[in-house]
Amino acid sequence: MQDATALAEAVRRREAAPVELVEETFRRIEATEPQLNAFVTVCYEDGLAAARGELPEGPFRGVPIAIKDLTDVGGVRTTYSSRPLAENVAPADSALVRRLKAAGFVVVGKTNTPEFGSTAVTESLLNGACRNPWNLGRTPGGSSGGAAAHVAAGVLPLAHGTDGGGSIRIPASCCGLFGIKPSRGRISAAPYGDGSFALGQSGPLSWTVRDAAAFLDVAAGYEPGDAAWLPAPPRPFSQEVGAPPGRLRVAWTTEPALPYTVEEPCARAARDAAALFEELGHEVVEQTPPWQDDSVLDRFSFLWRMGPALYPADPSALEPLNELLARKALETSAVEYARQVLALQRYARLVAAFWDDVDVVVTPTLAKLPVPIGWVFDSHDPWQHFIRAAEFTPFTPAVNLTGQPAASVPFAEADGLPVGVQLIGRAGDEATLIRLAAQLEEARPWIDRRPPLLAT
């Protein structure tokens, strides 16, 4: 399996044709879908028509890609994995999809996600459970689980995901991939609003760091009306891959922001990564950001509950967790919401200031190995569904509050399952994360670590 950069080069050299790549992708989807359930919609006709047409001369000309089913592709269903929106068809491409198509990508389908992307696994009543190609009884993570599952299985080398509380980094760790959540404002949410406290960012899940960096290059940029946006970096992110990172000050910790137990394989991966970074010449210290706050999960829920309430659906038609969140949102006054947002912003400022003295923080990505299918929902109390997701992912949401970039890097295996480590950088400094991740990729290659279920 070649990465997306290599496939694009093969097209440029006329060693492969876009239609051949798309047809092979559809063959791989058909081979793996009965086991994975990674796709919500497969765009057979549109994908082949685009591949046979006049594609833009962009850096990814002719390379197939799948889009998470929370993001609009014009003329294609965006179901949000929600039964009331099962037949919702997007009227136009989102700004991100427009940019990806302009780069030459061919959209071949929409990938599975939990309802509204609200939890850390990919299971819904509408679209069913997506499964992990490393172990079909385990979750691929969420909410970008369909994206991660099909990339891990070799259907495509690169996919689009979104991350509002860890939803790129969680499945990257579960499926043994590289995934990066960019800084707030790096990639536009247009045509939708990004709000006063944007949690979610689009980003890539990929086999290689260079693919993810090149994705950011074509996806990033301001769109008119964006509330938060970043200027272009000094040079393309793709040029950071292989560039010497210099001697960085790296802090590491196994203490999560939320007060939950961290399983030993996850903690060990972070300790071992810290030791490797020291061997590579970095200054490494054991130190925890000031992110432990007993009230932060409850406050975070004030932001999280607003998502389900904003969709055009009656709360009674939603799944139990989203119904609970939507009803709580409808009962929340504007003043109380504003108070919680202000408190979270104070928290975010306190946490982000930690990076004044360090370049990168290394943590476990997750507190547990990929959990069994159904584990999050193994309770009649929907609030416990929210708590269980937090127990699984206590390292990821704080970075969505601060708006900093963070990546999950494949690092280890335990019980036949992948284990990732999280790299967190300063706001706006994806470049350092890319250089450091590429250094780790060279020192501890992961490209040949493939799951038992692999499209061939």
Note the pTM of the prediction, 2 decimals. 0.98
Contact predicate 393/170, CB 8 Å: yes
Q: Mean pLDDT, to the nearest integer, of 120-142? A: 98
Residue 41 lies in a domain: yes
Q: Mean pLDDT, to the nearest integer, of 128-157? A: 98
Residue 453 lies in a domain: no
What are the residues facing 138 on neighbouring strands? 372
For residues 87 and 109, give the distance between their C-alpha atoms in angstroms, rounded to a whole number.
15
- Cis omega (within 30 of 0) for bond into 18: no
What are the residues facing 285 on neighbouring strands? 251
For residues 163 and 404, give the distance between their C-alpha atoms in angstroms, rounded to a whole number.
12
Q: Mean pLDDT, to the nearest integer, of 272-285? A: 98
DSSP secondary structure letter of residue 224:
T
pLDDT mean across residues, the chain: 97
- Residue pLDDT, tens place only, 9-55: 999 999 999 999 999 999 999 999 999 999 999 999 999 999 999 99
For residues 237 and 116, give the distance between their C-alpha atoms in angstroms, rounded to a whole number.
30
> 81, 82, 118, 143: which is the annotated catalytic residue?
143
Instruction: Determine the number of helices (DSSP H) and then strands (DSSP E) in the chain.
Output: 15, 11
For residues 208 and 190, give the distance between their C-alpha atoms in angstroms, rounded to a whole number.
27
DSSP secondary structure letter of residue 86:
T
pLDDT of res. 195: 62
Q: Which of 207, 279, 221, 229 is nearest to 250 (CA)?
A: 279
Token pair 């793996």: residue: 32
Residue 290 lies in a domain: yes
Return left, alpha or beta for 446; rule: phi > 0 is left, psi -120 to 50 is alpha, else beta.
alpha
Q: Mean pLDDT, to the nearest integer, of 393-406? A: 97
pLDDT of res. 193: 83
Does 167 qualify as catalytic in the annotation?
Answer: yes
For residues 27 and 39, give the distance between their C-alpha atoms in angstroms, rounded to a whole number.
13
> 68, 101, 328, 368: which is the annotated catalytic residue?
68
pLDDT of res. 198: 84
- Residue pLDDT, tens place only, 151-206: 999 999 999 999 999 999 999 999 999 999 999 999 999 999 876 568 999 999 99
Q: 176: which 2 tokens?
A: 């043994």
Residue 207 lies in a domain: yes
Contact predicate 304/118, CB 8 Å: yes
Q: 159: which 2 tokens?
A: 């996919």
Q: Which of 225, 191, 176, 185 is nearest to 203 (CA)?
A: 185
Domain limits at 339?
Answer: 4-443
Residues with Cβ < 8 Å from 34, sequence gap 6 or more? Answer: none
pLDDT of res. 34: 98
Q: Which of 415, 373, 368 is nearest to 396 (CA)?
A: 368
Residue 30 lies in a domain: yes
* pLDDT tier, 456 (very low <50, low <70, confident <90, very high otherwise): confident
Token pair 């137990």: residue: 261
Q: Which of 441, 428, 433 is nearest to 185 (CA)?
A: 428
Residue 97 lies in a domain: yes
For residues 272 and 44, give the distance between their C-alpha atoms in angstroms, rounded to a whole number.
44
Residue 242 lies in a domain: yes
Percent of the chain, pLDDT > 70? 99
Handedness of CA 66, 71, 73, 78 (dihedral sign): positive
Q: Mean pLDDT, to the nearest integer, of 208-237? A: 96
Percent of the chain, pLDDT > 90? 97
DSSP secondary structure letter of residue 456:
-
Q: Per the structure, how many domains does the chain have?
A: 1
pLDDT of res. 196: 57
- CATH number of domain containing 353: 3.90.1300.10
DSSP secondary structure letter of residue 135:
B
Give the three-state DSSP class for 109. Answer: strand
Residues with Cβ < 8 Å from 269, sequence gap 6 or more? Answer: 364, 411, 412, 419, 420, 421
Residue 403 has phi, psi (to 5 degrees) of: 80, 10
> 81, 94, 144, 167: which is the annotated catalytic residue?
167
Residue 450 lies in a domain: no
Does 143 qualify as catalytic in the annotation?
Answer: yes
Does 110 qualify as catalytic in the annotation?
Answer: no
Contact predicate 207/178, CB 8 Å: yes
Contact predicate 439/22, CB 8 Å: no
DSSP H/E element including 395: none
Specify the pairing of strand 64-68 against strand 106-111: parallel
Q: Which amino acid is at 437?
A: A
